[in-house]
Amino acid sequence: MPHALSLGLVLFVVWLLLSGIFEPLLLGLGVASSIVVVYIAHRMDVIDREGHPIHLTPRTLLYFPWLVWEIVKANFDVALAIVRPAMPIEPRLLHIKAGQKDDLGRVIYANSITLTPGTVTIATEGSAFTIHALTRGAAEGLESGDMDRRVTAMEDAKMDASDPGPAPSVEKEE
């Protein structure tokens, strides 16, 4: 039930932001359309923890600013590698075992890697990821396991992102 209410609220807020109209008739139609969509989604049994992960919301507010900062830093790293005359690009494949417990956590981790310039998640099989890193700095960032720990902490409230924990197991291919 909380997922259905949250989904309805999110749908209505998105509808309101997209329409920008605050007339009573249209507000009523927006509420009605949100209710109909939630009803249909409930009948289809697609409202669950993975489809609408409201349990991650508070921890996501801490994770996304960190991720945005990592994306900015990686942009500069890749731009400098391209602009330098020597082009210090050292592409490599990494095989990393993710520490997340469920598919949603692994998807967030794989997408976070791909969003960060200089790294792309090529393949996943269970908790094993194959990642292409463009520069040494990008590879070292993944090998440190910081992103893995932060995604795991976002997924599991009992774990702290500042806890170093075990580093992910990494195998390199040249």
Question: Comparing 123-127, 158-162, 168-172, which segment has the lowest mean pLDDT?
Answer: 158-162
- Mean pLDDT to the nearest integer, 119-148: 93
How high is the pLDDT of residue 112? 95
How high is the pLDDT of residue 172? 60
The second-level CATH assignment, the architecture, of 57-173 is 2-Layer Sandwich (3.30)
Share of the chain above pLDDT 90, in %: 58
Per-domain residue ranges of the chain:
2-43, 57-173
HEC per residue, the chain: CHHHHHHHHHHHHHHHHHHCCCCHHHHHHHHHHHHHHHHHHHHCCCCCCCCCCHHHHHHHHHHHHHHHHHHHHHHHHHHHHHHCCCCCCCCEEEEEECCCCCHHHHHHHHHHHHHCCCEEEEEEECCEEEEEECCHHHHHHHHCCHHHHHHHHHHCCCCCCCCCCCCCCEEEEC
Question: Comparing 36-45, 53-62, 134-143, which segment has the lowest mean pLDDT?
Answer: 53-62
